[in-house]
Amino acid sequence: MAQQTSETKRAALDDLYGRITRVAESNGGNASPLMWSVSFPPAVTAEPQTEPTPALHVEMHEGLRVDFIPRRPLSAFGALQVEARRNFNGKPVTGLAAFCSLGADGISWQGPKGSPLTDDDIRESLKHQGPPPL
């Protein structure tokens, strides 16, 4: 298993966010990078602590917004996982918790069902009704 350092996680996020941006734009949306304050797990720090972490904000047609955010800061130990937080006209949309995780090779992304992440998986996360239940 390849060790996931902050640098390899950042490179993997850049790749993932590039893929998401291409899919969003090809479906009439737009994407903007941003920094998100992500908390360290409580077992890691004695006091609550956050770290600015790269995220991606996507706006699709008809009021759907999706923020792709790592579950942990990049410097935190453990595999990189990214979730999609979907919002439609100001209201949270359920249906997608763990969106994807970086595979053991440190390069490839796994989709919500553990198979390689496809553009169709990304496209489903950018729809109002979202993906089918896991």
What pLDDT is attached to residue 48? 83
pLDDT of residue 23: 96
- Please give the model's pTM, rounded to 2 decimal places: 0.85
Other Cβ atoms closer than 10 A to 105: 8
DSSP line for 79-122 = --EEEEEEEETTEEE-S-SEEEEE-TTSSPEE-TTSSBP-HHHH
Does 11 score more than 70 pLDDT?
Answer: yes
Instruction: For residue range 36-92, list pLDDT tens digits in order.
Output: 999 988 776 778 889 999 999 999 988 899 999 998 899 888 888 898 888 888 888
Residue 111 is predicted with a pLDDT of 82
pLDDT tens profile 118-129: 898 888 888 876
pLDDT score, position 16: 93
Nearest to 13 by CA among 97, 77, 99, 109: 109
Predicted confidence at residue 32, as pLDDT, reads: 97
Model pLDDT, residue 132? 46
